[in-house]
Structure 1
Amino acid sequence: MQGGLLVILTDKLFYGINYLSGNEFISQLIMVIVQIMAIFAVISLAAIIQVYMERRICGFIQDRLGPNRVGPWGLLQTVADMIKLMGKEDIIPVKAQRILWGITPMLLFIPAALIYAVFPFDDGAVFVDLNVGIFFVMAVMSQSVLMFLLGGFASENKYSFMGAMRAVAQMLSSEIPMAFAVLAVVMVSGSLKMTDIVAAQSNMWFIAVEPLAFIIFTISILMEINRTPFDLVEGESEIIAGPFTEYSGMRWALFFLAEYANLLSAAILTVTLFLGGWHGPVLPGILWFLIKVFLVIFLFMWIRWTYPRTRIDQMMALSWKVLLPLALFNIAATGIGIYIYNWM
């Protein structure tokens, strides 16, 4: 049977459903529904794990205990927070544009979940293996800024709108150097398909081939997902909570869930482009994939609790004056390197 462990389990599930239903179309429809539900389940479970990781790492770096009251080792603290949010009052601002304001959190979650459709989790384990998969990822990632803008505009709050404007500026500043860093990977792999990019790293990961692209990509992706030191969209000391200022209860929880879904997708994209995806010795591919993803998440959290927040002008200067020229230089160096390699 072809593919990794995840593919084998999925095939067995499909055969079981097909045996019970007796109709291949119905079986395929059920499998699509199961896969969609699996994506949302993975995002929700990963968010719970990431929140606990964040608190533990934060506590360690700040020399304190972290969560230790609810459940053993504080494992149920996130569950307690979820129950608390469900009991919060959903306050609608008097001047807000109610329909737009109300649907924005749900709209924000759509691109955060949609991006997982093209990620290869294991050998052959990808929902949709697009020929232009990396273009799809870049396009979907940029959609979240529209939801920030919509939420900030619909809130009719100056701090919310200022945060939305920051989100637009930050997205424009981060997307271009990140796109050039990804382009270097595409040049080396010779394909836009996510599975082909991972397959090209079977002998050597691209972090060794493109170290400068990895650094540029890491900084840019932190800007893209609004993580410290680039969490300027919701800078509490400057604009309260940015586009989220007027949200509370479960609507705020959806923003929170989308933030951690984006953190997970950023880690998966980093692993796919630079760390060999599911490739690794001895262990099944899906286990290697998960190990790498959570190591990258740990790196992102370590950076968050180590460096202070930058100013908006410093972030834009870093992007346009440092990252973009370096990314262009890296593209030229990659092209020359490929030409010399092919000539030899």
Structure 2
Amino acid sequence: MPEGLAVFIECVAIGICILLMYAVLAVILIYMERKVCAFFQCRLGPNRVGKWGSIQVFADVIKMLIKEIIELKHADKFLYELAPFMVIIASVMAFSCIPINKGMEILDFNVGVFFLLAASSIGVVGILLAGWGSNNKFSLIGAMRSGAQIISYELSVGLSILTMVVLTGSMQFSEIVANQADGWFIFKGHIPALIAFVIYLIAGNAETNRGPFDLPEAESELTAGYHTEYSGMHFGFFYLAEYLNMFIVASVATTIFLGGWMPFHVVGLDSFNAIMDYIPGFIWFFGKAFFVVFLLMWIKWTFPRLRIDQILSLEWKYLVPISLVNLIIMVLIVVFGLHF
């Protein structure tokens, strides 16, 4: 067949695979969130629909698909309709950068980290459009809060990732993982890598608007924040994007700090290392990613919601200065060859 047609078919096939994987992960994460939340609150969680409530999420998906999409009378219809698609497109673009296994990277080029940060930043535009286009004061307040919060915490996320880019000397995700073949960066990078990991988890939680940083959706104050006026699958897009953004945050942490698809090796234990090598790379990747997802859920269901001034003070007074000092320390470690 012609080369152009072959490329087109390949792109369509890859796009379908991304969307299927996106949907499957969303179902798993929603079910996991409910069970983890129930565990922390000494409840059972979903347990009626299907074995251990396993079909509850599918029932909710069907309910959301058949719900009517309401049309607001005084809304800016174009922006109101565009907003959910902006959020989901940004999420899918960022998701496409994640290297699941060796050779299983959809978008892998020499500025992959830069592209990921740029693509994920588009989501805040969708949130601002949703708040403005809804013509609802609660939605607008939620969108403004979200914009201030996401733009602020992107600095800490970027500085944490930049700290590890300094250590590896590359912005290409496949090279970052390949450089961790003899040890994960969270162990090789000394204390600055550990500090960067903790700051990344805090800032990543804030960027995805999850508790205790869920001020943009504060139910007790703003009904549902920026998606108050959305129903049906328009609301479903915001819901999906939140969970997949959490998985993207966990996947980037896995790739940059925890070795990506690389197995766990201990120097000197050759038989143990050989056994670890038998486990496929994608199992290592998903195992680490879901471990980080559990940490993010643990944070959400442990700490109470912060005020908006406390959220911004935490970022600008503490996380940004610590990240900058941490970056300088990592530069010194690399320049003088002090890392393992």
Asked whether the 8 Å contact 1:164–1:233 carries over to 2, the reply is yes
Alignment pair present for 1:336 and 2:315? no
Residue aligning to 1:177 = 156
Q: Distance in 2 between matches of 1:289 and 1:108?
A: 25
Q: Structure 2: give runs of 5+ residues left out of the alignment.
A: 264-275
Native 8 Å contact 1:201 1:276 kept in 2: yes
What amino acid maps onto 2:164 in structure 1?
V
Aligned pairs for 1:250-261 within 5 A: 250-261=233-244
Which secondary structure does the structure 1 equivalent of 2:287 belong to?
helix
Counterpart Cα distance in 1 of 2:160 and 2:287 = 24
What secondary structure, in the 3-state scheme, does the structure 2 residue paired with 1:118 have?
A: coil
Identify the match of residue 110 of structure 1 among 89, 105, 110: 89
CA contact (8 A) 2:85 2:126 kept: no
Instruction: Report if aligned partners of 2:46, 2:53 keep a CA contact under 8 Å in 1.
Output: yes
Give 3-state SS (helix, strand or coil) of 1:202's partner.
coil
Corresponding residue of 1:46: 25
Q: TM-score when scaled to structure 1?
A: 0.91
1:225 paired to 2:225: no
Deviation sequence 1:63-90 (CA, Å, 0-9, x none): 1111011011100001111122223222
Identical counterparts, % of pairs: 41
Say whether the 8 Å CA contact 2:86–2:125 is kept in structure 1: no
**TM-score in terms of structure 2 length:** 0.92
Q: In the TM superposition, what is the alpha-carbon distance from 1:320 to its structure 2 partner?
A: 0.5
The 1-side partners of 2:201 and 2:84 are apart by: 26
1:88 alignment partner, one of 67, 79, 82: 67
SS of 2:96's partner is helix
Give, in angstroms, the shift of residue 33 of structure 1: 1.0
Question: Structure 1 stretches of 5 or more lacking a match?
Answer: 1-21
Give aligned pairs, total. Answer: 323
Query: 1:203-240 deviations in whole A, cap 9, x for unaligned?
Result: 12122211011111111111111111111111111111
Conserved? CA contact 1:108–1:147, under 8 Å: yes
Matched with 2:248 is: 265
Runs of 4+ in 1 over 6 A off after TM superposition: none
- Deviation string, structure 1 residues 172-220 (Cα, Å, up to 9, x no partner): 2201121111111010000111111111111121222110111111111
* Paired position in structure 1 for 2:269: none
CA distance, structure 1, for counterparts of residue 91 and residue 19 of structure 2: 10
What is the alpha-carbon distance in structure 1 between the residues aligned to residue 65 and residue 34 of structure 2? Answer: 21
- After superposition, residues 143-182 of structure 1 pair within 5 angstroms as 143-182=122-161
Asked if 1:58 is matched to 2:37, the reply is yes
Q: CA–CA distance in 1 between the matches of 2:157 and 2:91? A: 18
* 1:289-328 equivalence runs, <5 A: 289-328=285-324
> What does the per-residue CA deviation read over 1:113-145, in whole Å, with 9 as the maximum and x for residues that have no partner?
011222211112111211110000111111111
User: Does residue 235 of structure 1 match 2:229?
Assistant: no
SS at match of 1:233: helix
| Residues 118 and 130, structure 1, Cα contact 8 Å, conserved in 2 | no
**CA-atom RMSD, angstroms?**
1.6
Q: Which amino acid aligns with 1:202?
A: A
State the alpha-carbon separation in 2 of the partners of residues 25 and 143 from structure 1.
Answer: 29
Say whether the 8 Å CA contact 1:181–1:213 is kept in structure 2: yes
1:288 aligned residue (284, 290, 302): 284
> Amino acid of the residue matched to residue 340 of structure 1?
F
Q: Which residue number in structure 1 is paired with residue 165 of structure 2?
A: 186
